[in-house]
C-alpha cells in the first residue's frame, strides 16, 4: 500500500445511514488507500479538519458530505496541489454533478481509486472558500427555507417546495455590480455568481454553459416584473440549460469576469455553496487553477453518456458496466 489519504466525513449529511456509508467507503478504499478518518462535529468543521490535514503533510484529502462540507474542505486545499477526492452524500450534490463525478458512494470511490485528476478553478467569497456558486436574493431565501428537517424528509424536492413558497414573497432589489472593467446598476430578484454549476442550478444558467477551468466567474441576473415573469424566467433558464444555449429573455442578463463586487439596497442574504453566509455587500474573485480534483477517466465519461441515453438503465446497471 503506497497511497494514503485523510477522509473528512460529515456524519449528518444526506438521508442515508452514515455508519453504513462510512463502512462502505472503508470497504472500497482501505484495501488500496491508508485512510486517516476525521469526523466533523458541531464544534469542528470540515475546513478546520482539512487545514490540520494539510499541516500534517497528507498527500490526498477526501471529503464526504454535502456541498457545504465539500466546499469547506476544498477551501483548505486550494493552491496546495494536494489532490482532492469527492464522495457526495448531500441533498443536491451539485459539485459532483458539475464535474461528472458519480453521486453514488461506490462510483465516487472508484473515481478516486482511478487516480485521474483535473485542475479546476476555485473562488473566494468575502474571505470564504467557494467552489460552486454564490446566490444573492431569491436563492438565498429559498435555501434558508429548506431546513435540515425538510431536506431529510424530501431531499432535492425540499428546495423546489421552498422556492415555490418564496415566490409569494418575491421582491426586486436595487443592485450595483462592479467588475474590473464595468459598473452596472439595475434591479433584480436574484443574482448568482458561479464558478461551477450543474444544469439543475437554474439561476446560474444565463450563459451558454459554465466552464470550470477558464479563470472566470459567470454572473446571471434575473429581474422579473412579477411572479408570473419569475416562473417564466426560471422555466426558460431550465430549457436553455438543457440544450446548452444562452438565455434569451429581456429580464435575464449575464456576464463573465475575474471578480465581482455586489452591493444591494436593501441588504440581501447570500448563500455560498448551499450554506447561508451573511449578507451583502459581497466580493467574489476567481482563483484560477486552484484545485486538483479526482474525476472520471475519459472512457468512464463516454460510457456514462452512452448509458444515459438508453431507456430503463438503473444505477446498478451502470455500476456493472463500469465494473
**Domain assignments of the chain as residue spans, ordered by start:** 3-116+295-322, 128-288
Q: How many residues does the chain have?
A: 323
Any idea which fold 3-116+295-322 has? Rossmann fold (3.40.50)
Question: Which is more confident, 177 or 297?
Answer: 177
Write the DSSP assignment of 167-184 as a string of letters: GGG---EEEEEE-SS-EE
Tell me the backbone φ, ψ of residue 74, rounded to 5 degrees. Answer: -60, -35
Q: Which three cell numbers stand for residue 21?
A: 456509508
Q: Which residue has the cell 424530501?
A: 154
pLDDT in tens, 158-206: 444 444 455 556 788 999 999 999 999 999 988 999 999 888 788 888 9
* pLDDT at residue 157 is higher than 50: no
Rg (CA), the chain: 19
Confidence of residue 106 (pLDDT cuts 50, 70, 90): very high
The residues facing 295 across adjacent strands are none
Q: For residue 163, what pLDDT is reported?
A: 45
* pLDDT at residue 43 is higher than 90: yes
Collect all residues with Cβ–Cβ distance below 8 Å to 267 and sequence separation of at least 6: 279, 280
Q: What whole-number percentage of the chain has pLDDT above 70? A: 82
Q: For residue 110, what pLDDT is reported?
A: 97
Among 45-59, 140-154, 166-180, 268-282, the least confident range: 140-154
CA 321 to CA 290: how far, in whole Å? 33
CA 140 to CA 292: how far, in whole Å? 28
Residue 63 gets which letter from DSSP?
E
Q: For residue 21, what pLDDT is reported?
A: 97
| Sign, Cα dihedral of 41, 43, 47, 51 | negative
In angstroms, the Cα distances linking 276 to 268, 280, 296 are 11, 12, 30
Establish whether domains 3-116+295-322 and 128-288 are of one fold: no
Question: Which is more confident, 164 or 97?
Answer: 97
Q: Which residue has the cell 494536494?
A: 82
Mean pLDDT, rounded, for 126-140? 87
* pLDDT at residue 128 is higher than 50: yes
* Cβ–Cβ under 8 Å, residues 234 and 202: yes
Write the DSSP assignment of 272-288 as a string of letters: ETTEEEEES-EEEEEEE
In angstroms, the Cα distances linking 146 to 94, 171, 288 are 16, 19, 32
Q: For residue 230, what pLDDT is reported?
A: 80
Bridge pairing between strands 269-272 and 117-125 = unpaired
Residue 121 gets which letter from DSSP?
E
| 3 state SS of 289 | strand
- For the domain spanning 128-288, the CATH number is 2.60.200.40
Please report, to the nearest 10 degrees, the dihedral formed by the alpha carbons of residues 274, 278, 284, 290 taken in order: -50
CA 69 to CA 96: how far, in whole Å? 12
Question: Which is more confident, 62 or 305?
Answer: 62
Roughly how many angstroms between the first and final C-alpha of the chain, as a whole number? 22
* pLDDT at residue 144 is higher than 70: no
pLDDT in tens, 4-34: 999 999 999 877 899 999 999 999 999 999 9
* pLDDT at residue 240 is higher than 90: no
Closest CA to 18 of 40, 34, 47: 40
CA 323 to CA 56: how far, in whole Å? 35
Preceding amide of 281 cis, omega within 30:
yes
In angstroms, the Cα distances linking 226 to 60, 137, 169, 172 are 49, 15, 11, 9
Q: For residue 158, what pLDDT is reported?
A: 41
* Cβ–Cβ under 8 Å, residues 7 and 40: no
CA 77 to CA 52: how far, in whole Å? 11
Question: Which is more confident, 150 or 86?
Answer: 86
**What's the whole-model pTM score?**
0.82
pLDDT in tens, 246-296: 999 999 999 999 999 999 999 999 989 888 889 999 999 999 999 999 999
Confidence of residue 219 (pLDDT cuts 50, 70, 90): very high
Confidence of residue 316 (pLDDT cuts 50, 70, 90): low
Mean pLDDT, rounded, for 223-245? 82
210: left (phi over 0), alpha (psi -120 to 50) or beta: beta
Q: For residue 302, what pLDDT is reported?
A: 53
Amino acid at each position: 500500500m503506497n497511497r494514503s489519504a485523510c477522509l473528512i466525513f460529515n456524519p449528518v449529511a444526506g438521508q442515508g445511514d452514515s455508519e453504513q456509508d462510512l463502512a462502505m467507503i472503508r470497504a472500497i478504499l482501505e484495501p488500496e488507500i491508508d485512510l486517516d478518518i476525521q469526523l466533523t462535529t458541531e464544534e469542528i468543521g470540515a475546513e478546520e479538519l482539512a487545514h490540520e490535514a494539510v499541516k500534517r503533510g497528507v498527500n490526498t484529502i477526501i471529503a464526504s458530505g454535502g456541498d457545504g462540507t465539500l466546499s469547506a474542505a476544498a477551501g483548505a486545499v486550494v493552491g496546495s496541489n494536494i489532490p482532492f477526492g469527492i464522495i457526495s452524500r448531500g441533498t443536491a450534490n451539485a459539485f459532483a454533478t458539475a464535474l461528472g463525478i458519480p453521486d453514488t458512494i461506490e462510483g465516487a470511490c472508484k473515481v478516486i481509486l482511478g487516480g485521474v485528476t483535473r485542475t479546476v478553478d476555485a473562488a473566494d467569497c468575502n474571505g470564504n472558500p467557494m467552489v460552486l456558486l454564490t446566490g444573492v436574493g431569491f436563492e438565498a431565501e429559498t435555501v434558508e427555507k429548506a431546513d435540515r428537517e425538510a431536506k431529510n424528509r424530501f431531499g432535492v424536492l425540499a428546495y423546489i417546495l421552498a422556492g415555490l413558497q418564496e415566490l409569494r414573497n418575491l421582491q426586486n432589489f436595487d443592485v450595483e455590480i462592479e467588475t474590473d472593467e464595468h459598473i452596472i446598476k439595475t434591479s433584480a430578484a436574484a443574482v448568482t455568481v458561479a464558478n461551477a454549476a450543474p444544469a439543475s442550478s437554474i439561476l446560474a444558467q444565463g450563459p451558454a454553459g459554465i466552464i470550470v477551468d477558464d479563470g472566470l466567474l459567470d454572473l446571471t441576473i434575473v429581474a422579473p416584473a412579477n411572479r408570473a415573469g419569475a416562473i417564466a424566467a426560471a422555466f426558460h433558464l431550465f430549457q436553455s440549460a438543457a440544450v446548452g444555449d444562452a438565455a434569451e429573455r429581456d429580464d435575464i442578463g449575464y456576464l463573465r469576469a475575474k471578480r465581482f463586487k455586489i452591493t444591494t439596497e436593501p441588504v440581501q442574504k447570500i448563500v455560498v455553496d448551499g450554506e447561508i453566509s451573511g449578507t451583502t455587500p459581497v466580493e467574489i474573485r476567481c482563483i484560477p487553477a486552484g484545485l486538483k480534483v479526482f474525476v472520471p477517466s475519459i472512457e468512464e465519461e463516454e460510457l456514462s453518456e452512452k448509458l444515459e441515453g438508453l431507456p430503463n438503465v438503473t444505477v446498478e446497471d451502470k455500476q456493472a458496466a463500469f465494473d
